[in-house]
Chains A and B, each alone.
Chain A
Amino acid sequence: MSQFTAVQNFSRRDVLKLFGVAGGGLALGASGVSWSPMALAQQGTSESRLNLFIAIGEDNQVYLTCHRSEMGQGIRTGIPQVLADELGAKWDNVVVVQGLADERYGSQNTDGSRSIRRGFDKMREMGAMARTMLEQAGAERLKVPASELSCIDNEVVHSVSGRRLSFGELALAAAALPLPDPASLTLKSAGQYTHIGKSHGIVDMEDILTGQAEFGYDVQLDGMLYASITRPPVAGSVLNHLDDTLARATAGVVDVITLPVPIGAPSFQPLGGVAVVATNSWSAIEGRKQLSIRWGKSPNDAHDSQQYLAELSERVKQPGKVVRQQGPVNTDWPKEQTISALYTVPYLAHAMMEPPTATARMTADGVELWASTQTPQSAQQTVANALGLKVEQVIIHVTLLGGGFGRKSKPDFCVEAALLAKQTGKPVKVSWSREDELQNGYLHAISAQYFKGKVGADGVEAILQRSGFPSISSTFNASVDEPSASELDMGFVDVPLSINSLRCESVKAQAHTRIGWLRSVCNIQHGFGIGSFVDELAHKRGLPTVQMWRELLGSDRHETFENQGFTYGNYGDSLSRHPVDTARFKGVIDAVEQAMARQPKPTSGQGWGFAVHRSFTAFVATATLVEVTDNKLKVLKSIIAIDAGTLVNPDRVRSQLEGAVMFGLTLALMGQISFKAGRVEQSNFHDYPLLRMSQCPDIETIIIASDAVPAGVGEPGVPPVAPSVVNAIFAATGKRIRQLPINAHMSV
């Protein structure tokens, strides 16, 4: 075990030992959703379970807890940076501790691009709380007013006299002090930041370079068994017949176990199926190949994604449910002034490099799991339900995640491991194969969108847009057969278009497989739709696309969508704190336009495409340069600009933008999961390809300097990429691609 997963739930007397701190020290935690901090030393009962954000050892090491999951976004570096900043800690002295699942952290669900967006102020408060206690302890030691002290580089400094005491020297005394009133805390201003805004290298670098980084797949426990599971190939089909004779005869196979059939909506339940349990991974895989299984009938046996998409494409051309109406209803669509378009995006899979995996072992008190999960608390709750345990009897250790992208927000694989550990009485690791991951996942929804625009002499007068896709809500409530409001909030109803008449409608769409979150979620299809259609409007208007966007966005304002028939969710944040600000749209548009202007003029067969999108409260504009030769596409250059307010680690923001470009290019160029007879047709990277280095363009990232509150970063870069590529292909060739993926139309 590497150190960050080794931290257990602890009692007060154990905590310093667990942190490897011999003498003692200050420790702070956050309690419950209110985040009111508590000092460990203040706890009366020695058995109280706590997890800490900050602990300081007498050795002057600063132990900072990351309570959210690291999946490549850099959060194990980012959260400690925020804590360390207010604390005045020296970065070299920081040791990062990974938090267990515990409700006292507040939500640990690492999705929705919200770790920093939601946690920034709270983490600063935690840091300031500890700093204040250290200063108070220093004041008593030095016999000076605390107001004359400051925390700099792991020392409490009295600048008047030049005296200084290390955090380690003061840790014990600080821990004995009463907690400061949160209202009395003074947080730093932006100009005083020491770690926020600095591009610290990722904290797990050395472990990655030496093969010591521990991912879920890497967990090894004494006496552990390895499980490989064949799950139903069609959603809703159940095991009809099993002959496991040959599987049991396979060398190394210990047992073959039939898993329970899920009841009702899929939710986070395992899919059922048959687990082959063996002494090593290979024996489990080989044994599984020997299973003879017949599956029963399912209502989804006839699901054919091509046919489904054809039907959905017809449905979005018919009136649907009105979900936003701005201005009067437009009934006059003169043929010469009207353009219309249909856009479709297929099902998509996550294809994170590490497939889902979890390891479980039964304990005297319950069960303990190690998992690459984005959502330790849901894993804890779901495992508790499945095993008939109380939540506090389930311990969840979060390992590093080999990518997540939303798949690991569903803890079904954790439940599989727990069920098998219980049944075998041994520690069990469940490892999904690549085929499992692609064929039994929670897919991004297949979708169709219809757009109609009326273009007058002075501008666009009316837009009608419709969206249809099976809803994520259907995964939790089987009766849901239409997009939910929160899904339509993602890039469909929330585009601030300053036009006389804007009507948004949704249409029904039945689910035939588990639908889930994928990086940027419904912004994928909605960003593709509006990003493409504005380019088409620009062509009709005879304007550059950037200019068309400026015209559509209209005056600088904060759009509130009042009296338009819906309440905008704004990713769970208030519109006053995270406004839909048309000026910030224009800020990223301007930045990308200027960067494009610095590039050489495109040659014959080349073209630039542009798109802009707001999601997770951040603003992103993208321009892509492509070259099309003999119907073969080459993406040459990507420029991407973000305005995400205050940034904790600019380099990790840039890396997220680079990754978003490649994620967006992968889905635009090659992303497609298809179904025939209810089954996924793809099985591995040969037929569900990811972008390779040779396909990767030069990428220029632009950060808009801002002291606005932090917005999301992990997801917002993805949505504008796909439309910018098809717009670029149109500019290069005159060919308009409206049905993704692009490799259905040209080679990539």
Chain B
Amino acid sequence: MSKNSLGLKINGKDYTLDADPNMPVLWAIRDIVGLTGTKFGCGAGLCGACTVHVDGQPQRACLTSLKQVQGKQVTTIEGLTFEPLKRAWREHNVPQCGYCQAGQLMSAAALLTQTAQPTERQIDEAMAGNLCRCGTYTRIKAAIQTASGQKVSQTDARSESEQEAQA
């Protein structure tokens, strides 16, 4: 391994890594820093499981090298503070297996930071790069709408549950 001392700022904390500057941020933060909340899904920027924020912008950590984030702020799921979004996630009981959810949350947080009240189409576009094999899309969308103070636009599992309880 080439001996490079690289400075990295993750979740507001400074790290010095002895790592190849070409190493993708994904593997550096998981294997070296030990923050494993950011997930591997495809290694090719196709699934969004590894989404982190670089200076507030959502980026695929599997395609972003350490040298590309020099002097920049990296935020991972461990450092995500966006309570309205997390509250909405709980309210809609969004995750199934949970594996893709870090990436989903990071993309959703970036969307809501830029667009406080996204339309359904804006949500579809912003979240298009995040795959979920379990099929939590309808709840992710509902949670984003709830977090942004909007009405849920599609059939809401919560109201179905209430109907069931009343029946």
For the complex, is A16 an interface residue (Cβ under 8 Å from B)? no
Q: Total contacts A to B, CB within 8 angstroms?
A: 204
User: Separation in Å of the B92 CB from the closest CB of chain A?
Assistant: 10
Q: A690-B131, A693-B137 are in contact. Are A210 and B77 (CB under 8 A)?
A: yes
Annotate A652-691 by CB proximity to B: 1 below 8 A, 0 otherwise.
0011101111110010000000000000000011100011
With most chain A CB atoms within 10 A of its CB, the pick from B100, B137, B140 is B137
Contact B89 A402, beta carbon cutoff 8 Å = no
Contact A353 B133, beta carbon cutoff 8 Å = yes
24 A–B pairs (Cβ distance < 8 Å), ordered by A: A199-B161, A214-B36, A215-B99, A280-B32, A282-B27, A282-B28, A352-B97, A352-B99, A353-B134, A354-B39, A400-B98, A403-B97, A651-B157, A654-B157, A654-B161, A659-B135, A659-B136, A662-B135, A684-B42, A684-B46, A696-B137, A696-B138, A700-B160, A703-B164
Contact B138 A211, beta carbon cutoff 8 Å = no
For the complex, is A245 an interface residue (Cβ under 8 Å from B)? no
For the complex, is A72 an interface residue (Cβ under 8 Å from B)? yes
Stretch at the interface among A201-209, A505-513, A537-545, A614-622: A201-209
With CB as the reference atom, state the residue of chain A lying closest to B86: A209
Which residues on A sit within 8 Å (CB–CB) of B46? 684-686
| Cα distance, A329 to B112, chains bound together (Å) | 65
Contact B131 A698, beta carbon cutoff 8 Å = no
Contact A202 B99, beta carbon cutoff 8 Å = no
Contact B43 A434, beta carbon cutoff 8 Å = yes
Q: A211-B36, A211-B38, A217-B36 are in contact. Are A402 and B97 (CB under 8 A)?
A: yes
Number of A residues whose C-beta is below 8 Å from B?
A: 73
For the complex, is B116 an interface residue (Cβ under 8 Å from A)? no
Contact A73 B44, beta carbon cutoff 8 Å = no
Contact B40 A199, beta carbon cutoff 8 Å = no
User: Separation in Å of the B76 CB from the closest CB of chain A?
Assistant: 6
Q: Which 8 pairs of residues, A with B, have the shortest CB-CB distance? A: A211-B37, A402-B99, A662-B135, A72-B97, A72-B96, A659-B135, A211-B77, A218-B36
Interface residues of A in 63-78 (CB under 8 A from B): 70-74
With CB as the reference atom, state the residue of chain B lying closest to A685: B46
Interface residues of A in 197-237 (CB under 8 A from B): 199, 201-202, 204-205, 207-215, 217-218, 220, 226
Contact B20 A705, beta carbon cutoff 8 Å = no
Which residues on B sit within 8 Å (CB–CB) of A434? 41-44, 47
For the complex, is B151 an interface residue (Cβ under 8 Å from A)? no
Contact A402 B136, beta carbon cutoff 8 Å = no
Which residues on A sit within 8 Å (CB–CB) of B1? 251-252, 279, 283
With CB as the reference atom, state the residue of chain A lying closest to B153: A698
Chain B: residues with CB nearer than 8 A to chain A? 1-2, 20, 23-24, 27-28, 30-32, 34-44, 46-47, 49, 76-78, 80, 86, 89-90, 93, 95-102, 105, 123-125, 127-128, 130-141, 154-155, 157, 160-161, 164, 167
Contact B36 A220, beta carbon cutoff 8 Å = yes
With CB as the reference atom, state the residue of chain B lying closest to A226: B31
Which residues on B sit within 8 Å (CB–CB) of A150? none
Contact B78 A693, beta carbon cutoff 8 Å = no
For the complex, is A563 an interface residue (Cβ under 8 Å from B)? no
With most chain B CB atoms within 10 A of its CB, the pick from A201, A215, A285, A402 is A402
With CB as the reference atom, state the residue of chain B lying closest to A647: B164
From B30, B42, B131, B164, A705 is in contact (CB under 8 Å) with: B164
Which residues on A sit within 8 Å (CB–CB) of B95? 72, 202, 204-205, 208
Contact B47 A353, beta carbon cutoff 8 Å = yes
Contact A71 B133, beta carbon cutoff 8 Å = no
From B2, B100, B105, B137, A353 is in contact (CB under 8 Å) with: B100
For the complex, is A692 an interface residue (Cβ under 8 Å from B)? yes
Contact B164 A660, beta carbon cutoff 8 Å = no
Which residues on B sit within 8 Å (CB–CB) of A701? 157, 160
| Cα distance, A404 to B90, chains bound together (Å) | 23
Which residues on A sit within 8 Å (CB–CB) of B98? 72, 204, 207-208, 213, 215, 400, 402
Q: A282-B24, A685-B44 are in contact. Are A659 and B31 (CB under 8 A)?
A: no
| Cα distance, A658 to B100, chains bound together (Å) | 16
For the complex, is A694 an interface residue (Cβ under 8 Å from B)? yes
For the complex, is A433 an interface residue (Cβ under 8 Å from B)? yes
| Cα distance, A73 to B97, chains bound together (Å) | 7
Which residues on A sit within 8 Å (CB–CB) of B2? 251
User: Separation in Å of the A650 CB from the closest CB of chain B?
Assistant: 6
| Cα distance, A508 to B160, chains bound together (Å) | 46
For the complex, is A431 an interface residue (Cβ under 8 Å from B)? yes
From B89, B105, B137, B155, A662 is in contact (CB under 8 Å) with: B137
Further 11 A-B residue pairs, CB within 8 A, beyond A199-B161, A211-B77, A684-B43: A208-B95, A209-B90, A217-B36, A353-B49, A353-B133, A400-B97, A650-B164, A655-B136, A666-B133, A685-B131, A690-B131
From B37, B49, B80, A212 is in contact (CB under 8 Å) with: B37
| Cα distance, A661 to B123, chains bound together (Å) | 20
Which residues on B sit within 8 Å (CB–CB) of A661? 135
Which residues on A sit within 8 Å (CB–CB) of B90? 201, 205, 209
User: Separation in Å of the A444 CB from the closest CB of chain B?
Assistant: 14
Q: A72-B98, A211-B38, A693-B123 are in contact. Are A660 and B135 (CB under 8 A)?
A: yes
With CB as the reference atom, state the residue of chain A lying closest to B27: A282
For the complex, is A401 an interface residue (Cβ under 8 Å from B)? yes
With CB as the reference atom, state the residue of chain A lying closest to B83: A209
Contact B31 A685, beta carbon cutoff 8 Å = no
